[in-house]
Amino acid sequence: MAYDKNNIFAKILRGEIPCNKIYENEHTFAFHDVNPQTPIHALVIPKGEYISMIDFSENASETEISSLFKTVTKVARELGVENNGYRILSNIGDDANQEVKHLHIHIFGGCNVGAMICRR
Ligand code: AMP
């Protein structure tokens, strides 16, 4: 599958649609999820064109990879969820119902986020 430059997060990165930005640096960008599932629900994405964690881990530079994970920790701290805890999650592909085909890490917090996986 090729990266789709018209996915919604690519448009956010290009400034074509607005977002509620939290933080950015050379390699990463963080913003609030538009449809929060918990009181704190943030998204951290690489600026590079990576579809999912598979693509990212195989093709991103060491700097991009470390930057993404350091940004997750930094954003969680800035949002005040570090002490009580939070969950990070990344959906990869169809069985995980990945909607946006640009790698993103969700940060859920601000409450007890419940069981690890809801089976239906
Ligand atoms: P996923 O199912 O892991 O692909 O999650 C995609 C997430 O992107 C969902 O939680 C959406 O609410 C969120 N989302 C979609 N469009 C936007 C947007 N314009 N700004 C912020 N978050 C968005």
Q: What domains does the chain contain, in order, with CATH numbers? A: 8-109 (3.30.428.10)
pLDDT greater than 90 at residue 96:
yes
Q: Quick one: what percent of the chain has pLDDT higher than 70?
A: 98
Neighbouring residues of 10: CB distance < 8 A, sequence distance ≥ 6: 4, 49, 102
Amino acid 116: pLDDT = 86
**Residues 44/16, Cβ–Cβ less than 8 Å:** no
Distance in Å, CA 100 to ligand 1 centroid: 7
**Beta strands of 1-120 (E only): which ranges?**
21-24, 28-32, 40-46, 86-89, 105-109
Distance in Å, CA 97 to ligand 1 centroid: 12
Over residues 64-80, the mean pLDDT reads: 98
State whether the beta carbon of 35 lies less than 6 angstroms from ligand 1: yes
pLDDT greater than 70 at residue 118:
no
106 is catalytic: no
Amino acid 120: pLDDT = 62
List the end-to-end C-alpha distance of the chain, in Å, as a whole number.
28
Catalytic residue selected from 41, 102, 104, 106: 104
pLDDT greater than 70 at residue 75:
yes
Over residues 94-117, the mean pLDDT reads: 96
Total Cβ atoms within 10 A of residue 87: 15
Amino acid 119: pLDDT = 67
pLDDT greater than 90 at residue 53:
yes
State whether the beta carbon of 90 lies less than 6 angstroms from ligand 1: no
Q: How far apart are CA 113 and CA 58, in angstroms?
A: 30
